[in-house]
Amino acid sequence: MSKKNLLVVGGTGYLGQHLLQGISEIPGTTYDVAFTYNSFPPQSLLDAFPSSLAFHVDLKTGLGFNSISEQFGRPDVVVNCAALSVPRACQKDPEAATSINVPTSLVNWLSSFSHIDNTLLIHLSTDQVYEGVKSFYKEEDEVFPVNVYGKSKVAAEQFISEKWANFAILRSSIMFGPQTVSPVPKSLPIQWIDGVLSKGDKVEFFNDEYRCPVYVKDVVSVILILIDKWLSEGKKMQLLLNVGGPDRVSRVQMAEAVAQIRGHDPSLIKPVSASSVDRGVMSPADISMDITKLVQTLNFSPTRYKDGVKLTLAAESSS
């Protein structure tokens, strides 16, 4: 069986690196892998995945995609992990949010190949497409984002569903898990909570914003299941899936689980309302998601939040 070309767009980000790791751990892998980066590829990442090709690509302009055409060829699967995902940054610069989060240059480049129906596009979206006024949103519920980040991701979903024949759009919640091969600059949720509580100072956490945090390795598993399904079945795919964990938790409950597992003083966790803090951007109150479709379609059950926290902290202790 000939190897299939797999391209990870945004390979130096948090999910991108975990995905490259997951692919590398498949025994006797049948994939040739390439990934894109925005600024520079960290040497530790290149060393960890020496058989993967790295390409510099500017997603705003599409500059760099032609090098992939020449040196790698048409991908059989593209996983788009790239995004401007900090809501406040998106709010300050809506044009940048749209130009990066709506994959116009990527889709235009893919359209330049013949046999474009043979390429599956897996695109990472967000739970922030939902308004946040109820619990456990389903995929068919109306999208009504309250900030520029959510609006740019809705625009991306619409663009892909109109312009590309075969796709899987994954609406992800907050991802958490171990640090990456090349540490990412952003603070990771569990590690940050553990760090602040270990100092012994009181810390404020929101008690009225709810999400379904998802263990990052589960997101990788979902992507790999979809890739295998696409390549083995060869059937048309147009999927929209909520990808969250099975537990609806507030920031207070997230912190309480870390405190319980690590033995931190729970009285350090000070519950406050999200409305008490000006974050410079509106944030939806309850964007917990119903993941029934994910579980049934892929026969996959995501990790419980507390179990994922234990796995995360264990990985940090051993690293």
Quote the pLDDT of residue 30.
Answer: 86
Quote the pLDDT of residue 29.
Answer: 80
- Helix 216-233 vs helix 14-24: angle between axes, to the nearest 10 degrees? 60
The answer to whether residue 51 scores a pLDDT higher than 90 is yes
**What amino acid occupies position 203?**
V
CA distance 175 to 169: 16
- List, as one string, the DSSP characters of 239-302: EEEEE--S--EEHHHHHHHHHHHHT--GGGEEEE-GGGS--SS---SB--B--HHHHHHHT--P
Are 66 and 112 in contact by the 8 Å Cβ rule? The answer is: no
Quote the pLDDT of residue 1.
Answer: 58
**Residues across the chain:** 319
CA distance 281 to 91: 7
Model pTM?
0.97
Q: Which two tokens stand for residue 257?
A: 């689980």
- Determine if residue 64 is left, alpha or beta; phi over 0 gives left, psi from -120 to 50 gives alpha, anything else beta: left
Q: What is the pLDDT of residues 152-190, one digit of tens each?
A: 999 999 999 999 999 999 999 999 999 999 999 889 999
* Ordered alpha helix ranges (H), 134-200: 148-163, 189-198
**Which whole-number Å values give the CA distances from 127 to 108, 138, 165, in the listed order?**
26, 10, 23
Closest CA to 136 of 306, 307, 289: 289
CA distance 180 to 193: 18
The answer to whether residue 78 scores a pLDDT higher than 90 is yes
**What amino acid occupies position 114?**
S
The answer to whether residue 284 scores a pLDDT higher than 90 is yes
CA distance 123 to 235: 18
| Mean pLDDT, residues 228-246 taken together | 96
| Mean pLDDT, residues 218-226 taken together | 98
Q: Which two tokens stand for residue 59?
A: 């997603």
Phi, psi of 243 (to 5 degrees): -120, 90
Tell me what percent of the residues of the chain surpass a pLDDT of 70.
99
Give the three-class secondary structure for 93.
Answer: coil
Kindly report the average pLDDT of the chain as a whole number.
96
Quote the pLDDT of residue 19.
Answer: 98
Quote the pLDDT of residue 186.
Answer: 87
**What amino acid occupies position 61?**
T
The answer to whether residue 115 scores a pLDDT higher than 90 is no
Are 61 and 198 in contact by the 8 Å Cβ rule? The answer is: no
Phi, psi of 120 (to 5 degrees): -95, 130
